Structure 1
Amino acid sequence: MKNQPFDLYIVDGNITLFLTQDSDTSTSDVLHSSLLASLVSDSHDVSSEEWFVQYKRSMGLLCWVTLQQNASTLARQPCSLLDFLTRQTGATLSPEQLEMIGEAFATIKALPKGSPALSDFLKHVQSSKTDLERISEDNFFTVCPMITLVLQDRMISLRLSFDVDEAVDERFLDEEIPQENIRGDMQVTQWTAYLAEDNYNALRQDVIKKLGSKKETAIFRVSPQAYLVRV
């Protein structure tokens, strides 16, 4: 990809990628509202369906209007996050935008080990579980990334959830997890919305006040040149 513009953030561990520089919605409104909704949702297990239900509910209270939402199940199969996004959005995004996603994931993978942005992503992308129905304790992990793609007039949030035998790391972004390491089917939720900015104007300062220092500690701008930029 040559000089294609995109803006990439890790927001409370979730990937937020602006695929256009002329979005109708300001960057800070997207980041601040999604951060507040994510923090509210963190009262639930990050891998639970309740987390995403609460996230969408909170975003609705912050004037994000649902255009479309759907849930589906994918049969167990080798999977990387990039493959998943390509399959889910290939009919919606242009080849150039799909290429931006690949470049963005490569940028995240290149972050220094232990960097705040990478650590936050890995902390939020999965949770550890124990299968209590088995006689012997059987530990596994639920992988549950959420990716938000911001377009000119809307944003698309996609959430993937499935169980694996071993914890994943940043390689999962564009390297497949073998099918034999995946337990059962994969759950997919997709939510498309736009911000009613005239209504959000009355809430903007309250959102900023509620976030407080979290604006500086839970939002990371990621770029090849500087892996952390405060916003």
Structure 2
Amino acid sequence: MNVENAAYVDAGNLASFVSALPALHQSDILDSTLLAQLAADKKYSRFDETGRWQEVYTSTLGQLYWYITSFSHRQHVPTEAMFSLEDLVLDSLRKIATVAELSLVKETIGRFKALSDDDKRVLVYAEFTHSGRVVDLQVSVADRSSRQGSVSIVFETDQEIMRNLFEEKFCVAELVGEIRIWSMIVTLNEESYEKIRQNVIDKLGSKRDSLILSLYNNGDAQ
């Protein structure tokens, strides 16, 4: 069992894990959510067809023995002239995560912000979270029972986007349309997932090493 908290770039998801969650279960969560992302990517662009992408993503999670207990979609209207993704993520997660989990996510974002622009973790996350002037990112946190709270934030801006999204302040006046936020609470049924674990690993192949990167251990794969 892990004795420390953990955090990973998992393609377009910045994933945090509490220390009590066994390493095997962390891998199961990372693998299955990566496979769901890639399955959705094959059908739709996460940047141009976000709603349909989300439908395929959540449907695939269900096929991988994730049980959705809460799901919501809303439009967000900022109250200030500028906003940061860190503040928006933490404010959105506050509705579905504990205080300790929020603290862990804040620590994870802090680790990510400290990375250089040419760090492979920043490069992978950038590839899967913004294209042109569209931002579409996911941040999640999982507890000891493989229950995961996640938020996806999507918007378009006329502002030039930095590679490290969490380092940037976004101007509300530069937004094109609304900010859309998906929030979800899901739990992985480990007993059922065990039966398909190797199949998921085989399907992912080398992508497990190239798209799942630890924010600890110098960015080594899981």
- Report if TM-score (shorter chain) is over 0.5: yes
* Aligned AA (1:46): R
1:42 match: secondary structure: helix
Give the deviation of 1:93 after TM superposition: 3.4
Provide the residue aligned with 1:98 in structure 2: 102
Provide the residue aligned with 2:218 in structure 1: 227
Identical counterparts, % of pairs: 22
- 1:21 aligned to which of 19, 22, 36: 19
Query: C-alpha separation between the residues in 2 aligned to 1:207 and 1:171?
Result: 30
- Choose 187-196 or 85-94, whichever is displaced more: 85-94
Q: Within 5 Å, give how 1:1-231 maps onto structure 2.
A: 5-18=4-17, 20-23=18-21, 26-43=25-42, 44-47=44-47, 48-77=50-79, 78-128=82-132, 141-153=133-145, 154-170=147-163, 172-173=165-166, 175-223=168-216, 226-231=217-222
Q: Residue by residue, what CA displacement relative to the aligned partner does 1:22-79 show, whole Å, maximum 9, x if unpaired?
A: 1377111001111111111112212222222111111110000111101111124532
- Choose 83-92 or 149-158, whichever is displaced more: 83-92
* Aligned AA (1:40): A
1:166 match: secondary structure: coil
Work out the number of aligned pairs and report it: 213
Query: C-alpha separation between the residues in 2 aligned to 1:57 and 1:40?
Result: 10
Query: C-alpha separation between the residues in 1 aligned to 2:107 and 2:163?
Result: 14
Query: C-alpha separation between the residues in 1 aligned to 2:98 and 2:4?
Result: 14
> What are the ranges of 5 or more consecutive residues in structure 2 without an aligned counterpart?
none
Query: C-alpha separation between the residues in 2 aligned to 1:79 and 1:93?
Result: 21
* Aligned AA (1:35): L
* Aligned AA (1:150): A
Query: C-alpha separation between the residues in 2 aligned to 1:163 and 1:229?
Result: 32
> What are the ranges of 5 or more consecutive residues in structure 1 without an aligned counterpart?
129-140
* Aligned AA (1:219): I
User: Are 2:66 and 2:188, in contact at CA under 8 Å, matched by a contact in 1?
Assistant: yes
Bigger-Rg structure (1/2): 1
Query: C-alpha separation between the residues in 1 aligned to 2:163 and 2:155?
Result: 16
Give the superposed CA RMSD.
Answer: 2.1
Give the deviation of 1:148 after TM superposition: 1.7
User: Are 1:109 and 1:170, in contact at CA under 8 Å, matched by a contact in 2?
Assistant: no
Q: Measured at CA, do residues 41 and 173 of structure 1 come closer, stay the same or move farther in structure 2, by a change above 3 Å?
A: same
User: Are 1:105 and 1:174, in contact at CA under 8 Å, matched by a contact in 2?
Assistant: no
Q: Measured at CA, do residues 21 and 194 of structure 1 come closer, stay the same or move farther in structure 2, by a change above 3 Å?
A: same
User: Are 1:108 and 1:170, in contact at CA under 8 Å, matched by a contact in 2?
Assistant: no
* Aligned AA (2:7): L
Q: Structure 1 runs of 4+ off > 6 angstroms?
A: none
Query: C-alpha separation between the residues in 1 aligned to 2:20 and 2:167?
Result: 27
